[in-house]
Amino acid sequence: MDLVQIDVLYNRDDIKNKVQMLGKKISEDYAGCELLVVGILKGAFIFMADLVREITVPLEIDFMDVTSYGLSTSSSGEVRIIKDLEYSVQDKDVLIIEDIVDTGLTLKHITEILKTRNPKSIKICCLLDKPSRRKANITADYVGYSIPDRFVVGYGLDYAEQYRNYPEVCIIKPFKAADPQ
């Protein structure tokens, strides 16, 4: 039987404070602008919901659903778009919201697609950044936390569609239970 151990990395208060700080900085940087906030489903939806409530400039919201993980704990490198944007990004300031930047392959693919649609600007905001795993030349403009190479769940992040509802960001450690004798 497969079991997991879960250790809290960032608790609710840590996350709340970080999201408020990011919202304030984004609001300052986009003062006088109208922003199109693009959430990357499914993982970013909780972070994005909290973040947009902290942003004080006018904004629109849209979503893309892409995948490169499937049921694995590591990116396959193959990015599939499941749901594209409903709104045009042409001549708009676009802020992509991502739960975690890992290899960067997914975000590189998304930003390349969006650049062909002629936005005014594209920036990236992520709650978590894992630079040690980077395979693509991509850097987030707004980063909540830089984390070590550990698999994390909670606050929207999942493992095989589980654990998204945990209110903290947690490190997950799979292990095998001892065989009963």
Contact 72, 95 (CB under 8 A): no
User: What was the pLDDT predicted at 1?
Assistant: 37
User: What was the pLDDT predicted at 2?
Assistant: 57
Low-confidence ranges of the chain (pLDDT < 70): 1-2, 68-78, 175-181
User: What was the pLDDT predicted at 60?
Assistant: 97
Please say whether the dihedral angle defined by the alpha carbons of residues 169, 174, 175 and 177, taken in this order, is positive or negative.
positive
Question: Top-level CATH class of 15-151?
Answer: alpha beta
Q: Tell me if residue 139 falls in helix, strand or coil.
A: coil
Angle, in degrees to the nearest 10, between helices 45-52 and 12-29: 60
Residue 102 appears among annotated catalytic residues: yes
Q: Is the overall model pTM greater than 0.85, yes or no?
A: yes
Catalytic pick among 99, 102, 129, 158: 102
Domain boundaries, the chain: 15-151
